[in-house]
Structures are given as C-alpha cells and as structure tokens.
Structure 1
Amino acid sequence: MIQFNIPAMSCGHCVRAVTEAVQGVDPQAKVEVELGAKQVKVESQAPREQLVAALTDAGYAPA
C-alpha cells in the first residue's frame, strides 16, 4: 500500500480527480481517500513515481 499526503485536496471534486488520476495509471488500483486527513492510500502495481507524476499532472502534488 502506498500512502500520499495531498494538501490541495479539499472537496468531493478533489477526491474524484485524485481517484481518476490514479486509476488513469492503473485502472485496477484500489484507492482509499481520507479527505479530512488529506491522505490517499493506493494499492497498485504501478510504481510510486508514476502515481506521483499522475497526481501532480492532475494538480494534486503529494507533499
């Protein structure tokens, strides 16, 4: 499981955008979002660097 802190995530739209960014890299990825904690947990076979790049491109760079 890979965990990211995403300070820019603040609403339901953000949750959808983050989930879609991760699943754009790995459609089979399991994504758990804790909006209040601004954390995302991802279970994926994709490399962490690839997920970071997708999140950053979507405007939600991990801290």
Structure 2
Amino acid sequence: MDQFELTVEGMSCTGCEENVTNAVKRVAGVHRVEADHETGEVEISADEGTEDEVKQAIHDAGYDVPA
C-alpha cells in the first residue's frame, strides 16, 4: 500500500472536503482519504500506482493539484 499527500487548490469549506473525498474514494484501489480545506492537504492511502488517477479524479471534481 502506498501513502501520499497532495496539495489541492480550491477547497474552501467542508463541502469541498466532502467533494474531494468522495471523488478520490471512487478511484479503484483507494483505501483511505482525509481532506482538510484549511491546509489544502489531502492524505491518501491506496494501492501503488494510483497517484495519477487520484490527481485526475480531484481535477475532474473541479479542484487543482499543482505540480
């Protein structure tokens, strides 16, 4: 299992946290997601090789993941 943290731009409330969390949970292989709109950080535990898919899911939900 892989654990990684992403910075997400555009989360401004708990509703945004829920949107990001729900989008990431739909990615196959994701086991745990914790989003914090105050810090802009999202912690993910997932199978190896899912980071690009997670970034795409966050982007598709309307948020930015800077490079």
Question: Under TM normalisation by the shorter chain, which class is it?
Answer: 0.7 to 0.9
Aligned-CA RMSD value: 1.5
Give the structure with the higher percent strand.
2
Equivalent pairs, count: 63
1:40-60 deviation line (CA, Å, top 9, x unaligned) = 000011510110111100011
Q: Which has the higher helix share?
A: 1
TM-score, normalising length: structure 1: 0.86
- Counterpart position of 2:20: 18
With the length of structure 2 as denominator, give the TM-score of the two structures.
0.82
Structure 2 runs not aligned, ≥5 long? none
Q: Which of residues 48, 52, 61 is equivalent to 1:49?
A: 52
Give me the identity figure in percent.
Answer: 27
Unaligned runs of 5+ in 1: none
* Structure-2 change in CA distance of 1:27 and 1:17 (3 Å): farther
